[in-house]
Structures are given as structure tokens and as C-alpha cells.
Chains A and B, each alone.
Chain A
Amino acid sequence: MGNWQTQPLTLPSVLAMVLGAVIVLVLALGVVTYTIYVQRKLLGWMQLRIGPNRVGPLGLFQTIADIIKLLIKEDVVPASADRPLFLLAPVLAFVPSFLVLAVVPFSAHHVFTANLSIGVLFYLAVSAITIHGVMLAGWASNNKYALIGGMRSAAQMLSYEIPLGLSLVGVVLMAGSLNLNDIVLAQQHSGWWNVIPQILGFLVFLVASTAELNRTPFDLPEAESELVAGYHVEYSGFRFAFFMLTEYVYLFAMAGLCATLFLGGWSGPWLPGWLWFAIKVVLFIFFQFWLQATLPRMRVDQLMTFSWKVLLPVSLVNLVLTGFIKAFW
């Protein structure tokens, strides 16, 4: 399908776009379904238990059964909730999570995705919309736990957006482009993946992305032991499924971003590009689950301090160092 932006809109090209979007959607849903399965299996092994093993061989259909259950549940909107906002919130949270997949290069050729020249910026800008969904969900539920969860979430995601963005700037400087494909090509050209020259940025990215994804040890918005379930406490059925889906699609997208920016994306010897990409994505996701089984949760004030007083300075130092290297090398 090549470069969409430069071609005039015709019926076949529009159809192709829709087809591409559907394929990416199905791919993402499949990945999410089995990410959840693998998460539960991995956590099971790490926690001396078995994990899902009832539905289908080795429990492979467990997540599908769960999704079906959520979809056919009664659609409950609490009487005291702010109805329009309550209905809007899951959509606002969910749509951006799929939108960002549009720029992640799964393979060397943008078969189903957009070769956007501002890919990095697009990802950051669109993913920020999700915060509104989360905040609205917390507010519209008219539940105190949800409100606290929503506010925590907004504060956390905003705070960590900044070090995350700054850690990406280093990579952009290295490649001299905001285009994700060009960043991969630059890494291929230079001979080493950005994780080596940008190790500082990579570490900041790893921490900040974990916080962006609301995962352990930064899973405060959904702190089960304090806030019961955080912002989606009043949601059930398919609306709840949407929030869960958002979370895991972002996990997939963030893994894709990490692989692209720091681990050379689809580039690698011998194996086909898409397989390299998949391996790197799986590594990132595995790392997240590993953390989940290992660490306790941070406290909300410590979280903010950490972002502003540790991550932000480190990412700035990284930026300055990268600038010097680019200028004098």
C-alpha cells in the first residue's frame, strides 16, 4: 500500500485503508488475547501455581471465554453516574490505543500501517488522549474510589509523559528523524541498536513506560489493596472489557515502540523482519510480567518525586550528552 499520504484518495485506496485497519485490529486483538493468557501462565509459574488450564488444551481458550463472558454481561450504568460521560470514557480511552498502532512499523515495509513522518510525535500526542478517558471514567462513575483512582492516574500519566518524551528525543537526535521507519534504518545503518549509545535514555524509557502503562510497581491507579480497582471500579461487562483491552493494547504498542526505538525494530540477521520484531516485543512484555511478579507497589507521593527529581534530570542529561555527541562526532 506504500505511502498513503502522497497518493490521491480513490475508492480502491480507501478500501485498502479500511482493510488494513481491520487487519491491524484483528492482529492486535489476537495479540492481546494471548498476552493475557501468557501473563496468567507466567505469573502462575512464578507464583507456584498452575494458571489457566481448564478451557481448551492448556487453557488456551480461557481468555476467549473471559471475553465472551464480559460481552454478554448485563450493561450496568450506575444510577448516580454522569451517564453521557460514563458511556464516553471507555471509548476515549480505547480508541487512541488502537490509533497509535497505526505508526508502529511491524516489518520493513509499511504493509498495513502508516509511514508517518512524525511517527514519534503522533504516538505521544495520541496516547495522551487516553488520560482523558481514564479521568472521565473516575469522575463520571460518581464513586469516591474511582475518583481518587482517576486523579492518581491522570497525575501519574502526565508526570511520566515528560521523561518518556524526553527519552525519545535522544533517539530522534541520533536518527535525525521523527519517522519510526527512518529510526530503524538509522540503527541498521550505524550498526548498533540505540540501546547501546542511548543506554541512559533506554533506562528512563523503560521506567517511564512502565509507569505510563500503569503496571507494577507503578500500578497505583488500580491499586487493588487501596482503591479496590481504581478508576474502573464501577465499570462492568463490555465497558470494563474496553478498559482492559486498552491496557493490553498499550502494552503491545509500547513494546512495539520500545523495539523500534531502542532495539532496532524489524532489523536483525537471518530471521525475517516481522519475526525479529515479534521477538523484541515479547521480550519487553515478558519483562513487564516479570516485574509484576516481583515488586511491591510504590506510594503515590514517592512516585511523583521519582518522576520529577530523578527521571526528568536523567533524561535531560541524556539529551545534552546526545547533543554533544551528535555535534562533535
Chain B
Amino acid sequence: MGGKRGNDVSLIDEQNQIRTEEMLLNVGPQHPSTHGVFRLVVKISGETILDAEPVIGYLHRGTEKLAEDLQYTQIIPYTDRLDYLAAMLNNYAFCHTVEQALELEIPERAEYLRIIVMELQRVASHLLFIGTYLLDLGAMSPFLYVFADREQIVQLFNEICGARLTYNYLRVGGVKWDAPPGWLDKVEAFVRYMQERLSMYDELITGNEIFLARTRGIGVFDTDTALAHGMSGINLRSTGFRWDLRRNKPYSIYDRFDFEIPVGQNGDCFDRYYLHLLEMNESLKIVAQALQQVPDGPVLGKVPKLIRVPAGEYYSGIEGARGELGFYIVSDGKDKPYRMKIRKPSFLNLQLLPKLLRGQNMANLIAILGAVDIVLGEVDA
């Protein structure tokens, strides 16, 4: 590089070739395309990546440790801040584990409201993926389009729970508030609107030659590799393996709805993008069906004021926006968990990254990292 350097360094190596050097490049923690404070130390030769080492932990807040000193209801707002793009799903994953431990009965209306907000949340999260992924690939407009659509979901959530990002809406045994009057009609109108928008996104993005050239056959891995690395969610399904906890280990009332589990064929970045689009459509289908069936009734079951989970170990996983999101709770019978462990899908999906990046072009780094779809709040927890 420029600057002061001794003139005694020869520019020619032993074989009389121009001497080249490998370069260590810090991508992040402040970098526009690492989706948060993620750092990647890459060793490059020209623009080819020889080695990549992810460095995580910049957003570590010790949620698991903090939970040991919090009552079960108090933990819920902390889960909001894990995967901050899918807070409803985090809320549910935690509440579900506690409910299983307590063997609680959930009121019907609460179950339906939960399904509706969870699937809307999945749509919001996937929308943001598509926007940021296209932004990573250099297309600016989709990002602003999806934000306009996501805003409608955020507004719906704001109406039902008074928050736009960290909802703290679900409770052990149900939900905190019933839907305000007219809310369900608004959701229905949104579902119809969004279905049209999805076909528009499909037309605008999916066939773009530049987009295809940048994502087809990039970052390919197979089912065995994915399973060996504990991957789940779209990263696993993109390899053609049909595994969705909503179908394979049904929780809540997912067995009542008719929906597909789309899978990819090649396990490349394009498949991962396209599955996001297809899954949004399926989520909207679930919401539409749930809206038809919502009964009247209470939204919070009979739950003791101070929740004491019986001594023992409990785990339950749900299909989060990024994969299997699970909470593992060890209880000694008190009102606080003895130990809480979070199965963070983003964290596990990230583990394959160094292998995927080796030998790739610098520009592919962003395409591959983006398609893994990580949220640093969850990776670092």
C-alpha cells in the first residue's frame, strides 16, 4: 500500500514474477452489509477470499444469564430483543415452553390471535429480508418498497399492543390484550393487499437477469452439510429437505390450517430468496384461514399471578422466521428459571459461513452472507 515503506523490498519474487501479498480485510463491525455489528475477518488475495473468520459478540447482552434473575413474565420483554425483526415469534417461543411445563390450557381466541400476529410477523420479517438482500446486491428501490408494506404490519401491531418493534404482547397462557374493534377486518384487508404486492415483487425481482446471475449457484450446500451444522428454517429447506416444525411437530393450532411447505432444489442463494417469497404467501394463507375461524371468548387463560414452573427440564422449539427457535428451561421449582438456554437459529445458520466463503469472490461474500439471513440481536443474544 501507499505511505512510507522501505525501498529495499523487492517487487519480484524468486520465480521472477511480480510479488503479491495476501491482505487481511476487516469487514465490519461497522459495515453497511453485515446487518448489524457483525465482524468478518477475511484473508483475500486480490478479490478472492482465502479464509474468513466470523467474529461475533458485539451485541451480546447476556439474555440467558439475565433470565436467571427474572420472573417468567419479566423475561418476555427480553425475548423481544433477541431477533428484533420477529419479536412476536420470540415471545411465543418462550411462552410456549413455559406453558408446556405448566401444562396450561390456552383459550381458543388467544390461540387464533397468536397465530395471526405470528404469521404477520413472519411476513414482516421475510419482507425485510427481501429488501435488505436486494440492497446488498445493489438495488436500492426494493428496500423502500418493503418498508412501506412492512409499515402496515407494524401499524397493525401498534394498534393491538401499543408497540412497533418490541411488542411484549404474548403472555404465558394467552395474549395481553384482545384485538381492538375492527382490527380483524383491517388484517383481512391487509392480507388481500399483500397478496397482490407479493406477485408484484415476484414480477419485479425474480426474473431479473442481473439478480439471477448474482444468486444462482452461489453459496451452495447440501442437506447433509446443513443438518450436520444444525441449520434449520429456510437455510435447510433450500436444500430440498422438507422440515418445518409447524408441520413436522405441530404446536399451537397449526394442524387446523391448510398450507404448503415450499422447498428449494439447489440450495443456493436464489432458492433462499425465493423461499422467503413463497413462505410469505403461505403465511398469508394461514392468516386468511385463521381470520375465518376466530371465535369469541377470553384471551388469557387461568394463570397464577406468580408463575412457578415445576422442577425439571423443559424444551420446546417453534418454527421462527429464521429456523428452529427454541427455549430450554431448567427449573428448580422457583419463580425464576435456574438456567435458560436459547436455541438461536441465526447463530447456528451462521456456522457454515467460513466454509461457504472460501474461494469465493469478494462480491459473493455479501450475496452469501445476506442470504443466510442473520439478525445480530439473536446471534449474539
Contacts and interface: CB of A to CB of B under 8 A. Distances in A.
Interface of A: 43, 46-49, 80-82, 85, 139-142, 144-145, 147-148, 152, 216-217, 219-220, 223-226, 228, 292-302
A78 B137 CA distance: 30
Most buried by A among B135, B362, B363: B363
A228 B31 contact: yes
Given A48-B148, A296-B138, A301-B361, 9 more contacts: A142-B1, A220-B363, A223-B363, A224-B32, A228-B31, A295-B210, A297-B210, A299-B214, A300-B363
Nearest to A47: B144
B140 A292 contact: yes
B214 A296 contact: yes
A293 B141 contact: yes
A313 to B, nearest CB: 19
A144 B23 contact: yes
A159 to B, nearest CB: 15
B2 A144 contact: no
Contact of A296 (B25, B144, B210, B361): B210
B53 interface: no
B357 to A, nearest CB: 13
A309 B134 CA distance: 27
11 contacts: A82-B2, A82-B3, A140-B2, A144-B23, A152-B47, A223-B363, A225-B366, A295-B208, A296-B210, A296-B214, A300-B362
B136 interface: yes
B215 to A, nearest CB: 9
A45 B144 CA distance: 11
B139 A297 contact: yes
B188 to A, nearest CB: 24
A142 B2 contact: yes
B139 A144 contact: no
Given A226-B33, A299-B364, A141 B213 contact: no
Most buried by B among A147, A220, A297: A297
Contacts of B144: 47-49
B47 A148 contact: yes
Interface string B142-160: 0011001000000000000
A-B residue pairs, 4 tightest by C-beta: A297-B138, A82-B2, A296-B139, A47-B144
A299 B213 contact: yes
Interface of B: 1-3, 23, 25, 31-33, 47, 134-141, 144-145, 148, 208, 210-211, 213-214, 361-366
Contacts of A296: 134, 137-139, 208, 210-211, 214
A41 to B, nearest CB: 14
A237 B145 CA distance: 32
A302 B366 contact: no
A226 B210 contact: no
A269 to B, nearest CB: 37
A297 B362 CA distance: 13
Contacts of A217: 138, 210
Nearest to A294: B141
Contacts of B148: 48
Given A225-B135, A298-B214, A148 B362 contact: yes
A226 B366 contact: yes
Contacts of B138: 216-217, 219, 223-225, 295-297
A152 B363 CA distance: 11
A81 B32 CA distance: 24
Contacts of B23: 144
A300 B213 contact: no
Nearest to A80: B3
Contact of B2 (A139, A293, A297): A139
A52 B256 CA distance: 50
Contacts of A299: 213-214, 361, 363-364
Contacts of B134: 296
Nearest to A229: B32
Contacts of B145: 47-48
Contacts of A292: 140
A6 B28 CA distance: 59
A148 B26 CA distance: 13
Contacts of A142: 1-3
B38 to A, nearest CB: 14
Contacts of A300: 47, 361-363
Most buried by B among A47, A145, A152, A226: A226
A142 B5 CA distance: 12
Contacts of A148: 47, 362
Contacts of B139: 294-297
A298 B210 contact: yes
A297 B133 CA distance: 12
A227 to B, nearest CB: 8
A307 to B, nearest CB: 15
A225 B144 CA distance: 16
Contact of A298 (B3, B140, B213, B362): B213
A270 to B, nearest CB: 37
Nearest to A141: B2
B197 to A, nearest CB: 12
Nearest to B25: A144
Contact of A47 (B47, B140, B365): B140
Nearest to A152: B47
Contacts of A228: 31-32
Given A225-B33, A296-B211, A299-B214, A43 B140 contact: yes
Nearest to B215: A296
Most buried by B among A43, A81, A217: A217
A261 B349 CA distance: 53
A305 B23 CA distance: 25
A299 B137 CA distance: 9
Contacts of B137: 225, 296-297
Contacts of B3: 80-82, 142
Contacts of A293: 140-141
Contacts of A297: 137-139, 210, 214
A116 to B, nearest CB: 36
A47 B141 contact: yes
B170 to A, nearest CB: 32
A312 to B, nearest CB: 19
